[in-house]
Amino acid sequence: MRGYDFVIVGTGVGGTAVARELARHTDSLLMLECAREYRDLGGALGMLRYLDERRLERGVYAHRALMAGGTAVLSCANGPRCLEEELSGLGIDLGEDFAEVEREIGVTPTPASALSPGSLALIAAGRVLGVTFRPMPKMIDFVRCRACGLCMLGCRSGAKWTPLQWLDELVAQGVRVCLQTRVERVRHHGGRVIGVEVLGPDGAGFIPARHVILAAGALATPVILQRSGFPDAGTHLAVDPAAIVYGITEGLSTVGEPVMSLIADDMHKSRGFLLSPFSENLTAGRVVTLGLRSLRYPARRMLGLMVKIKDDCSGRVLPDGRATKRMTRGDRARMADGTGLAKQILRVAGAREPFLVGRVNGGHPCCTAGIGRIVDHDLQTRIRGLYVADASVFPESPGKPTIVTIAALAKRLGKYLVARMTDTGLTRERRRAAVCAA
Ligand SMILES: Cc1cc2nc3c(=O)[nH]c(=O)nc-3n(C[C@H](O)[C@H](O)[C@H](O)COP(=O)(O)OP(=O)(O)OC[C@H]3O[C@@H](n4cnc5c(N)ncnc54)[C@H](O)[C@@H]3O)c2cc1C
Ligand code: SF4
């Protein structure tokens, strides 16, 4: 089997961001993705093919997508930074990487012209109560956006950025991507990576590699690590639990704008939650999150605010892939605090009882191979040549959207690896010869 300088596991935001840096300097790069590619996005039923939902406890779920492009294909297109201070406290200054990622993705705040009457009412109500709603930084080309509000199904108009765009660019540059190829474990010898064991369409195999970068997401990377001699991976799971609180109105809603067009996060540091307007426009989606009681009200009569909390790292991913996490007393207190404030704002904005509170969904699994525990400051594990570049490395739960920060961390890792390649003075050809001889 041919060997590679770099094998990247996973084609989500972490995997594609690190690949972009490496692909500029080496052609000995292979991306392995366990799932298929889906381009027929935008349908609710189609989502069942790739959405992986885990029940963590009664009424609390974690989500990820198993597909080329990863979970960010289903994102709400939110692009704020998170954990900037916390990472800086660990000596990881992402300033330049954040700026580059934001430019490359095209992150831009929601323009005022895109806001619905519901969001304008929430801004005004927030002002009365001392809560500032500001435009959410979005990964949306607003010229192409049709304001359908169905971003999580996948954008049919191509207005929303996803890692599929970066993956397409990588393939166009000649990077080899193997789909439906699951990495089972990393093999190492004498404290150094030697390759990965895979299960692909042709069965089991071994791919020699000098560097392996795990970017399989915080629910899968720790499984690979545990199977590869890291029994301490998989602990500290956090998911950023979120619930939507709806009040009933006479026709005021945020239907007609992208979901989460605003963000109120002044209280994030002191109280551990943020608020953002949300409308579940599909009846089926409302039934899943709110139950049959939601059928009594059309989306246009429901004004919603998402409460997203920063949760305790109290969960765990087991070697067989199962995940467990209970909401701690602190998690429940933050959720109750946020829900109470959301109801106050909705009431001032003109909504009335009954206030409906949806089930709790955690879309940001993270922290299962944290910096300082499983990886060091350079995202390297104790096995030389084995790195992690996904939300697993977060040192704590962000309680905020993750994509831009994962991309910035992965970009930083890519630059670090390129600098090391250059330091060794190996030319493209000599590197290739070294790999073939390995
Ligand atoms: C519905 C929803 C909406 C969201 N909205 C936003 C938002 O608006 N903004 C934001 O910042 N964040 C959002 N998030 C969170 C964000 O999408 C994720 O935190 C982020 O995409 C995770 O990226 P990752 O690279 O860590 O992992 P992933 O994106 O999960 O990528 C992992 C990749 O590895 C593959 N893989 C898994 N196991 C293996 C294996 N063994 N071998 C090979 N390949 C493997 C997977 O198929 C996948 O392609 C949302 C999440 C959800 C669920
Ligand atoms: S709201 Fe805009 S970005 Fe979101 S899915 Fe619809 S067209 Fe795409």
| Residue appearing with tokens 């979005």 | 138
Query: Measured in angstroms, how far is the CA atom of residue 161 from the centroid of ligand 2?
Result: 10
| pLDDT tens per residue across span 75-128 | 999 999 999 999 999 999 999 999 999 999 999 999 999 999 999 999 999 999
CATH number (3.50.50.60, 3.10.20.90, 3.40.190.10, 3.40.50.720) of 4-437 reads 3.50.50.60
Among 136, 143, 157, which residue has the most ligand 2 atoms within 8 Å of its CB, making it the best to mutate?
Answer: 157
In the chain, domain spans: 4-437
| pLDDT tens per residue across span 319-329 | 999 999 999 99
| Residue appearing with tokens 């989460």 | 260
| Cβ–Cβ under 8 Å, residues 148 and 282 | no
| Cβ–Cβ under 8 Å, residues 431 and 413 | no
Share of the chain above pLDDT 70, in %: 96
| Cβ–Cβ under 8 Å, residues 409 and 389 | yes
- Residue 298's contacts (CB-CB under 8 Å, 6 or more residues apart) are none
Predicted confidence at residue 424, as pLDDT, reads 65
| Cβ–Cβ under 8 Å, residues 4 and 207 | yes
| 235: nearest Cα among 248, 252, 221 | 221
Both tokens of residue 49?
């093919």
Whole-number Å distance between alpha carbons of 197 and 201: 13
Cβ of 386 below 6 Å from ligand 1: no
| Cβ–Cβ under 8 Å, residues 351 and 252 | yes
Closest ligand 1 atom to residue 35 Cα is 47
| Cβ–Cβ under 8 Å, residues 368 and 226 | no
pLDDT in tens, the chain (438 residues): 679 999 999 999 999 999 999 999 999 999 999 999 998 888 888 888 999 999 999 889 999 999 999 999 999 999 999 999 999 999 999 999 999 999 999 999 999 999 999 999 999 999 999 999 999 999 999 999 999 999 999 999 999 999 999 999 999 999 999 999 999 999 999 999 999 999 999 999 999 999 999 999 999 999 999 999 999 999 999 999 999 999 999 999 999 999 999 999 999 999 999 999 999 988 888 988 898 888 899 999 999 999 999 999 999 999 999 999 999 999 999 999 999 999 999 999 999 999 999 999 999 999 999 999 999 999 999 999 999 999 999 999 999 999 999 999 999 999 999 999 876 655 454 454 433 333
Cβ of 317 below 6 Å from ligand 1: no
Query: Measured in angstroms, how far is the CA atom of residue 76 from the centroid of ligand 2?
Result: 9
CB atoms under 10 Å from CB of 204, counted, come to 10
Predicted confidence at residue 45, as pLDDT, reads 82
Cβ of 398 below 6 Å from ligand 1: no
| Cβ–Cβ under 8 Å, residues 239 and 363 | yes
Beta strands in 261-331 (DSSP E): 262-263, 273-277, 302-309, 315-317, 323-324
